[in-house]
Amino acid sequence: MRDALLAVGTRKGLFLARSTGGGPFEVEPVHFSTIGVPSVAIDTRGPVPRLLAGIEYGHFGPSVMWSDDLGATWQEAEAPPIAFPEETGAALTRVWQLTPSPSEPDVVWAGTEPGALFRSEDGGVTYSLVEGLWNHPHRAQWQPGGGGLCMHTVLPHPTDPKSIGVAVSTGGFYRSTDAGASWEAANQGIRALFLPEGSQYPEFGQCVHKVAVHPSRPERLFLQHHFGVYRSDDFGGSWTSIGDSLPSDFGFPIVVHPDRPDTVYVFPLQADMDRTPVEHRCRVFRSDDAGGSWQPLSKGLPEDPVHASVLRDAMTASSAGVFFGTRDGEVYGSRDDGETWSLIARHLPDVLSVRAALL
């Protein structure tokens, strides 16, 4: 079996874990100790893997670092890699998302707070603001959710570089078919229960928590909302609820199996102020029929009552397996599609982001 790399961004540093030949993951000493790492990416498009980390320097502000030697050394652009043009009057607070484009070899997308989209054409070293979205008339009306006004999801089309979708809390889902020059809100059918009766299906203003897509079926999207789990079969043109059989349709992460586009995973939480696992049981729920039905997966997960949640980017599914990290610093992985789980790390800081890849 090929070697695997797991990247875990936490409130106080980045942890890399490696598996050799299908063996157990070994966690390396912390990178960027005491520094928040809300976003990570493992870019395997080039001759060597490139690691990208959105970090929070505290007093010095957020930045993006990269490594071409699996974390042995890290580099940073000479000038701030992501910065708002002066005329916007905005300042970067956090890099929420780093997404290599599957259809453009050197392009990396970044989603930020305040809610904005940036594009890199040099492999994630430097970025420029996507002005078409920043100048959209809805943007000035977006309101921050509990985690801030964050662009947390960037979904570039796997083969068409002109097509891309993004999600921002609490703006909703937006899509572009002209490489980001123009954008339209795509939230039809998503119910915003936190709004007054009679206005719960707005054009925009939904508190989307995460959106996922499978590269072999890019027109199908899965969405975890503040309340509700949804599927779209027309790239956000309309959405249908698929969360009725879940014990709770509130949660943060949602990911799609790397090989099976009808298989999707969520981690339900008790809503709304509690935000702990349903019945305080650590369970991932999987659907193998695109949300038609769900089954709990917990073999190998803690049996004692659990109170820690899983954040929107703290779950991932790739050819290396399915992985998630919790707010009490535990990381679990499954190599059999979630049927059984193994503890990879514990006692880490609050887990913010998890990514995995085969090398």
CATH number at 42 reads 2.130.10.10
Task: Judge whether residue 179 has pLDDT over 90.
Answer: yes
Does 59 have pLDDT greater than 80? no
Q: Please give the average per-residue pLDDT across 258-272, as a whole number.
A: 95
pLDDT in tens, 98-155: 999 999 999 999 999 999 999 999 999 999 999 999 999 999 999 898 888 999 999 9
Closest CA to 133 of 191, 174, 187: 174
Sheet holding 229-232, edge to edge: 208-214, 217-225, 229-232, 240-241
Cα separation, 272 vs 353, whole angstroms: 22
On the question of pLDDT at 58 being above 80, the answer is no
- 126 Cβ contact list (under 8 Å, min separation 6): 77, 79, 81, 120
Domain that includes residue 191, residue range: 4-358
Average pLDDT (294-308) is 97
pLDDT, tens digit (0-9, with 9 covering 90-100), for 148-160? 899 999 999 999 9
Per the CB < 8 A criterion, the answer to whether 163 and 229 are in contact is: no
Distances (CA, A) of 198 to 172, 192, 193, 195: 18, 11, 10, 8
Q: Could you tell me the pLDDT band of residue 165, with boundaries at 50, 70 and 90?
A: very high
Quote the number of domains for the chain: 1
Which of these, 94, 88, 131, lies nearest to 111 by C-alpha position? 94
Average pLDDT score, the chain: 96
pLDDT at position 6 is: 98
Q: Is pLDDT at 195 greater than 90 in this prediction?
A: no
